[in-house]
């Protein structure tokens, strides 16, 4: 990923990509604020309202070595200012047959959402937490109990929700949620969570700790290449594991066959 062939098109430095994202993020936030003013029938008389726009400062507990032509940013700075990083439903209550799907910590395992075991909450409860509603492709991150687990929301979770123990992350293009998932799964990010986690009986990472965590930003092409290479490695490892399982089954059958032959031979010898 670091080298280029002669004559290849020069990739956009991530610093330029990040600068564009920050401008777009601020613009989207201002547009949302103006829509809210308009809906209330109270348009601002001056631009002082723009001063309310704030971003979390980088967390001092996380230092990163930045590769050449990459950039560094807080997670909040590269995520949607309207669909902000936030947790979901505090008390989903009893399972409702035709209710709204929601995801708990135990429903996220191995980088995926275990759809077959999800519960549903009443629509009126989900409505109260509409701010945390899910769209296909959102990145989910557990922050309490078994914190640090990640998953990409599948299409079945469109309009679903999460609990207070999980946050939703929605990256601004051209940042890919799949890349952010790989970064958050990395040793450096998982170590960061251990450092900032708080609690006695049940430890967890607060939302601010997620928003101001530092993230390495490569350009879009390199993000896609990282995703491809890791998927390739995972596929190869899975294939090897499957082959090993097959060989272990064969070995066990051979072992049983040998033992059976030995028993038969011993029985005949005794007779």
Same-domain check for residues 32 and 141: yes
**pLDDT for 111 beyond 90:** yes
Q: Determine, yes or no, domain membership for 1.
A: no
Report yes or no on 6 lying in a domain: no
- Predicted TM-score (pTM) of the model is 0.81
Q: Are 197 and 231 part of one and the same domain? A: no
Q: Are 45 and 172 part of one and the same domain?
A: yes
Based on the fold, state whether residues 90 and 165 are members of the same structural domain.
yes
**% of the chain residues with pLDDT over 70:** 83
Question: What phi, psi does 145 have (nearest 5°)?
Answer: 80, -110
Phi, psi of 161 (to 5 degrees): -150, -175
Number of domains in the chain: 2
**Phi, psi (degrees; rounded to nearest 5) at 68:** -60, 135
E runs forming strands in the chain:
71-74, 86-87, 100-103, 108-109, 112-113, 119-121, 139-142, 150-152, 161-162, 166-169, 214-217
Question: In the structure, what pLDDT confidence band is assigned to residue 5 with cuts at 50, 70 and 90?
Answer: very low
Flag whether 234 is in a domain. Answer: yes
Give the whole-angstrom CA distance, residue 270 versus residue 253: 26
Owning domain of residue 249: 219-271
C-alpha distance from residue 1 to each of 10, 223, 226, 258 (Å) = 12, 10, 8, 52
**Residue 4 domain flag:** no
Q: At residue 42, does pLDDT exceed 80? A: yes
Q: Are residues 142 and 268 located together in one domain of the fold? A: no
Whole-number Å distance between alpha carbons of 17 and 20: 5
Q: Which of 116, 151, 110, 117 is nearest to 134 (CA)?
A: 151
Minimum mean pLDDT among 7-16, 101-110, 136-145, 175-184: which range?
7-16
**Residue 117: inside a domain:** yes
61 or 90, which is more confident?
90
Q: Examine the domain organization and report whether 101 and 195 are in the same domain.
A: yes
Asked if residue 161 and residue 145 are part of one domain, the reply reads yes
Residue 266 has pLDDT above 70, yes or no: no
């Amino acid at each position: 990923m670091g080298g280029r062939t002669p004559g290849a098109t020069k990739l956009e430095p991530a610093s330029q990509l990040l600068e564009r994202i920050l401008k777009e993020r601020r613009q989207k936030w201002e547009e949302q604020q103006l829509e809210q003013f308009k809906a209330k029938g109270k348009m601002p008389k001056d631009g002082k309202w723009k001063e309310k726009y704030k971003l979390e400062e980088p967390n001092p507990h996380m230092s990163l070595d930045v590769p050449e032509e990459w950039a560094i940013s807080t997670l909040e700075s590269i995520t949607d200012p309207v669909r902000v990083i936030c947790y979901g439903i505090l008390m989903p209550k009893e399972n409702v047959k035709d209710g709204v799907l929601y995801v708990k910590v135990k429903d996220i395992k191995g980088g995926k959402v275990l759809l077959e075991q999800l519960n549903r909450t009443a629509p009126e409860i989900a409505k109260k937490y509409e701010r945390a509603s899910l769209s296909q492709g959102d990145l989910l991150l557990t922050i309490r109990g078994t914190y640090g687990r990640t998953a990409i929301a599948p299409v079945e979770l469109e309009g679903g929700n999460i609990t207070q123990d999980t946050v939703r992350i929605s990256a601004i293009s051209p940042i890919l949620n799949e890349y952010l998932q790989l970064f958050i799964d990395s040793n450096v990010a998982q170590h960061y969570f251990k450092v900032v986690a708080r609690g006695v009986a049940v430890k967890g990472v607060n939302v601010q700790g997620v928003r101001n965590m530092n993230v390495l930003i490569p350009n879009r092409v390199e993000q896609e290449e990282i995703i491809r290479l890791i998927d390739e490695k995972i596929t190869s490892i899975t294939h090897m594991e499957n082959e090993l399982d097959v060989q272990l089954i064969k070995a066990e059958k051979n072992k049983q066959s040998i033992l059976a032959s030995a028993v038969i031979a011993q029985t005949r010898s005794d007779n």
